[in-house]
Structure 1
Amino acid sequence: MLTAIRKDGTIVHLLPRRSKELLKKEREKEEFFCPECREKVIMKVGTKKMEHFAHQQGSFCVESYEKETEYHLNGKLQLYQWLEKQQLAPYLEPFYSSIRQRPDIGVSCFDRNFAIEFQCANIPPELMVKRTNAYRTQNITPIWILGGKNIKRKGSGKVSLSNFDYLFLTRSPSGLWYLPAYCPESNIFILLTNISPVSSKNVLSEISIFPHQSFLIQYLIAPVKRNNTCTCHDWKREIRSHKSSLLLQGYYTNDVIKELYLQGMNISLLPAMIGLPVANAPIIETAPLVWQSYLFLDHIYRKKEGVITLEEIYRSFMKRVRKNQIKLRLLPLVRDCHPRKALLEYFHLLVRLQVLEAVNDTTFKIINEVKTPEHVLMQQEQEELFYRKFAHLFFK
C-alpha cells in the first residue's frame, strides 16, 4: 500500500514520489500505521520494488493477505496520475470507515463517487461481491479494472477468460457488455466489447487498445459501442471446433452428448439454429451450443405443433441448472442479471428464423417441425444455406 498514518494521526502518502534517501531518513525518525487496522507497518524502500508500506509478518489485517506486486503498485500509481491529468482530484487509498474498505483510488466526477479497484491477483469471488455491495450501500460506484496480463488473446478477435476474469465483466447503461483492463508495463488500457461466449472460457470479442493518455474515465463508466468485427465465418469456425471438442469427451463423460445420443441425435448433426449468439449470453456460463441444445430437446425436437411459454422454458432451464447440466455465471458488477433475458432473446431469435411464431412477448407457437440432417454433408449444406439467409440477424 502507498498510504499510512503517523503516530499523530496525520496521513502520509508515497505520492508524489520522493528520493529514496529522503524516504529512508523519514523512516528512521517516524513510525507508521495501517489506516485500517492501526497495526504498525514498515516503509519498504528497496532497489527492486517500488517503495510501499507493508504489514509485519503475522498480521491479521485483511490488507496484509493481498501482497502487492510491483505490477500492482505501478498500475495503481499510473492510474492515479492518469486521473490527475484529466484534472480530477483522485484520492489515494481512501479508507471508508463505515464499511471498513479501502479501494486503490477514490474519485468524484459527473456528480458521482467512484471507488477504483485495480485487481491483478485472484481473490475469492465472495470477497469481490462483498466489496462491491458494500460500496453500493454508501452510494459509491465501484470500477473494477483487471490487470492487463490476465487478458489471454487467442487471435485477433478471440480471448480466453477464466471465471475470475469474468468477475470484471459489466454492462453499460445502454446494455453494452464490456470488460476493462490495464497494463502498467505497456501503459495501455484494454477494453473488450461485443463479447460473445463460444464456450465456457473462449469468447469472440472486439479488442480495443488505448494508450493511457488518450483514454478518459468516461470510457470506463459508459464506453461507446463499437462495430462488431465478428463474422458468421468466425462463429461457424468456433462452433464447429466446439462440437469437435465435445465429441472427443465422449458419451460417458459429457451429459449433453449422452442425452442427444439417447434421443437418436449426434451433436455434429445439430441444426444450425442451435449454438447462436444472443446479447445476454454472458449470464450463462455454459456454452450456447450446450444450453440451446437442451432447450431444443425440451421444447422443440420432434414437435410439429404446440405452444411454449417463457415460464415453461425457464422451469426446464432451471431444472437443468439444478442437475448441474447448465451453469450460471457469477457477475457481481451487473445488476438485474437474470437468465430469463438470454432465454427470451433466443426464442425471439427463433421467431425471426421462422422456426416459431410469437403469440405474444412471452408465448411462442411451433409452426414448423425442425428436421435434423441425416449426415455430415447434408448438415454442412443446410448450415451454409442457413447463414447465407439469416446471418444478418446476429452479425451486423
Structure 2
Amino acid sequence: MLIAAMDDGRLISLVSPDFTRSELNLLRNRKRFYCPVCRSPVRLRLGSKKKWHFSHHPKYPCIIETEPESTAHLSGKEDLFQWTKANGRTPELEHYIPEIHQRPDIYLPGIHPIALEYQCSTISEEKLHARTCGYMSVGIRPIWILGGARQKKIRCLARLSGFESQTIQFSNRNAPSHPFFSPYYVSYYYPAEKRICFAGHLHPVSKTMYITQEINHMIPSARPHQLIMPALPFSPESFKQDWADCKRRYRLSVPSHLSREEYWLRQQAYRLRMNYSGFPSFVGLPHRDYIHFSLPPCLWQMWIYFVMTHSPPDLWLTPDMLMRTGKIGGTETVFLRRSLPLCPKRSLAGVIKTYLEQLVKLNKAEGKEGAYRFRASRIAGDLPLDQLLKQDRLVLDSLERVHGQMNK
C-alpha cells in the first residue's frame, strides 16, 4: 500500500518525490493516517530495506483482501506508475472501485479504462479469475503483469503454472499472414533491471509448457500501449525447429510420470493395438487457436486420429460428434477448455474443425457439408521412427506452403 489519507482528509502518496524521510517522520509524529478505502488506521513504514509504505494494523484489517507486498512488488508498482505518468497518462495509485470492492495497483482512467495489476506473489486461480471478471463486469480492461522472478524458461519453452496461464492476453495488432503466428502473450516486469519482457507467440506443448519467442524493452523506451498491442516479431524457421524438437522429445522420451489423460490415451492405444509413439506426423499440428484446449495438440489430436481411424470408412464425423467422444471420467475429457479470461472465446467444436481442415489441406482427409473422414489410401501404416521424425518437420513445411498458395 503506497497511498493513505491523513486525519485532515488529504491523500498522501509515497511514490511522490515531494517528501523526504525527515518530512515524513515529522508527519508520522504529528498526523494519523487512514486507509482511503476502509478508513481503518494504517502505519507509515520508513525502513531502509524496503520501499516506504503504509500497512494496516493487525487489529484493523482492510475490507479488501490483499496479499503482503514484497520489495519487488512495491518497487515495480512505483516504476509502472511513474512510467505511465511520464507517457501522458493520468494514473491513479490503488484507486478503489466500490462497485466490485477491488483496488488495482494502478488505474488508468479514460474512455476505455484499464486496471494494471503487477503480480509477484502466488494467488489461487479462482481468485485471479474472480478479480479479472470483476474488472470486466464494470467495463475496465485488466492487464496482469507478472513479476520477473515468476518467469521460468527452458530453452525456447516457457512454463506457466497455476494462475499464470490466466494472465495470457490476446493482441489485436495486425498480424502477418502465417499459419503459425500466434497473438497470445504474457507480460513480465523486472524492477531491478527496469525491463519489460513480452513472451509471445505462445503454442502449448503440454498443460503448462509453451513454445515462445520473446522481446524485451527497457522501460524508458517502452510505451503503455504496448501492454495491449506489443510488436512481437515472429521467426517461422525458429518456430518450426522448436516444434519439431518438442515432438521428437515426445516420441523418444520414456515418461517417468504420466498425466491422467496421457495414461488414458496410452490405454486406448494398447486396446486398439496401435503404436502410441508411432503416431503419424499430422498428429500434433500447431495453430494459434489450439491454446484454447487444456491438453496439448499431440494428445487431443491423437484421440481424433484413433476415432477416425477405427470408424467405418463410410462414416462422416462432425466436430460436434468428435466432441462427444474422449470421455475420461465423469466430467473429464480430452477436449477440456483452458481458462483464458483475458482472451476472446473460441468454440471448441470450431477449434476441432480448424484441425480437420488442416488435414484436408494436407490431403489426409476429405470434408463434405461440415463432416469429415480420412482418405484411407492416404493413411500410412507404422513407419520407422527416423522417417517419422523427418516427416514431423516436413508436414510443417507443407502446411506453410499450402497456406501461402491459398493467400496469393
Is this a same-fold pair by TM over 0.5? yes
Query: Aligned partner of 1:232: which letter?
Result: K
| Matches of 2:402 and 2:29, distance apart in 1 | 68
Which sits farther off after the overlay, 81-90 or 249-258? 249-258
Which residue pairs with 2:150 in the alignment? 150
* Residue among 226, 232, 245 paired with 2:233: 226
Q: Residue 64 of structure 2 contacts residue 102 of structure 2 at CA under 8 Å; is this kept in 1? A: no
Q: Residue 153 of structure 1 contacts residue 160 of structure 1 at CA under 8 Å; is this kept in 2? A: yes
Q: Following superposition of structure 1 onto structure 2, how do residues 237-256 of structure 1 map, counting pairs within 5 Å? A: 237-245=245-253, 247-249=255-257, 254-256=263-265
Q: Residue 4 of structure 2 contacts residue 11 of structure 2 at CA under 8 Å; is this kept in 1? A: yes
The alignment status of 1:366 with 2:367, answered yes or no, reads: no
1:73 offset after TM fit, Å?
A: 0.4
Provide, for residues 336-364 of structure 1, a one-character-per-residue CA deviation record: whole Å limited to 9, x for no partner.
2443343222111111111112324x322
Which residue pairs with 2:321 in the alignment? 312
Seen in structure 2, the aligned counterparts of structure 1 residues 97 and 264 have a Cα distance that, compared at 3 Å, is same
The alignment status of 1:7 with 2:7, answered yes or no, reads: yes
Query: Where in structure 1 are there 5+ consecutive unaligned residues?
Result: none
Which residue pairs with 1:295 in the alignment? 304
SS of the residue aligned with 2:376?
Answer: coil
Identical columns (%): 25
Which residue pairs with 2:268 in the alignment? 259
1:63 offset after TM fit, Å?
A: 4.7
Which residue pairs with 2:211 in the alignment? 204
Which residue pairs with 1:170 in the alignment? 169
Q: Residue 246 of structure 1 contacts residue 254 of structure 1 at CA under 8 Å; is this kept in 2? A: no
Query: Aligned partner of 2:154: which letter?
Result: K
1:44 offset after TM fit, Å?
A: 0.6
| Matches of 1:102 and 1:297, distance apart in 2 | 49
Aligned residues: 393
Query: Aligned partner of 2:91: which letter?
Result: P
Which sits farther off after the overlay, 332-341 or 383-392? 383-392
| Matches of 2:259 and 2:74, distance apart in 1 | 49
Which residue pairs with 2:118 in the alignment? 118
State the superposition RMSD in angstroms.
2.7
1:132 offset after TM fit, Å?
A: 1.6
Which residue pairs with 2:21 in the alignment? 20
Provide, for residues 290-346 of structure 1, a one-character-per-residue CA deviation record: whole Å limited to 9, x for no partner.
111111112234654431112112222567782355543221212324433432221
| Matches of 2:234 and 2:285, distance apart in 1 | 19
Seen in structure 2, the aligned counterparts of structure 1 residues 394 and 102 have a Cα distance that, compared at 3 Å, is farther
Provide, for residues 256-293 of structure 1, a one-character-per-residue CA deviation record: whole Å limited to 9, x for no partner.
22211221122221101111111112212212111111
Q: Residue 355 of structure 1 contacts residue 367 of structure 1 at CA under 8 Å; is this kept in 2? A: yes
Query: Aligned partner of 2:159: which letter?
Result: S
1:159 offset after TM fit, Å?
A: 1.5
| Matches of 1:3 and 1:363, distance apart in 2 | 60
Which residue pairs with 1:273 in the alignment? 282
Which residue pairs with 1:94 in the alignment? 95
Structure 1 ranges of 4+ moved more than 6 A: 250-253, 318-321
Seen in structure 2, the aligned counterparts of structure 1 residues 321 and 221 have a Cα distance that, compared at 3 Å, is farther
Which residue pairs with 1:67 in the alignment? 68
| Matches of 1:368 and 1:160, distance apart in 2 | 39
Which residue pairs with 1:33 in the alignment? 34
1:141 offset after TM fit, Å?
A: 1.2
The alignment status of 1:352 with 2:361, answered yes or no, reads: yes
Which residue pairs with 1:214 in the alignment? 221
Q: Residue 83 of structure 2 contacts residue 219 of structure 2 at CA under 8 Å; is this kept in 1? A: yes
| Matches of 1:243 and 1:375, distance apart in 2 | 12
Q: Residue 86 of structure 1 contacts residue 216 of structure 1 at CA under 8 Å; is this kept in 2? A: yes
Which residue pairs with 2:178 in the alignment? none
Provide, for residues 67-111 of structure 1, a one-character-per-residue CA deviation record: whole Å limited to 9, x for no partner.
0000000000000111111121111111112221110111135x3
| Matches of 1:329 and 1:385, distance apart in 2 | 29
Which residue pairs with 1:139 in the alignment? 139
SS of the residue aligned with 1:329?
Answer: coil
| Matches of 2:248 and 2:109, distance apart in 1 | 47
Q: Residue 248 of structure 2 contacts residue 389 of structure 2 at CA under 8 Å; is this kept in 1? A: no
1:245 offset after TM fit, Å?
A: 4.0
SS of the residue aligned with 1:106?
Answer: strand
Query: Aligned partner of 2:202: which letter?
Result: I
Query: Aligned partner of 2:291: which letter?
Result: P
Q: Residue 159 of structure 1 contacts residue 203 of structure 1 at CA under 8 Å; is this kept in 2? A: yes
Seen in structure 2, the aligned counterparts of structure 1 residues 59 and 321 have a Cα distance that, compared at 3 Å, is farther
Which residue pairs with 1:342 in the alignment? 351
- Could you state the TM-score of these two structures normalised by the residue count of structure 2? 0.88
Q: Residue 326 of structure 2 contacts residue 333 of structure 2 at CA under 8 Å; is this kept in 1? A: no
Which residue pairs with 1:190 in the alignment? 197
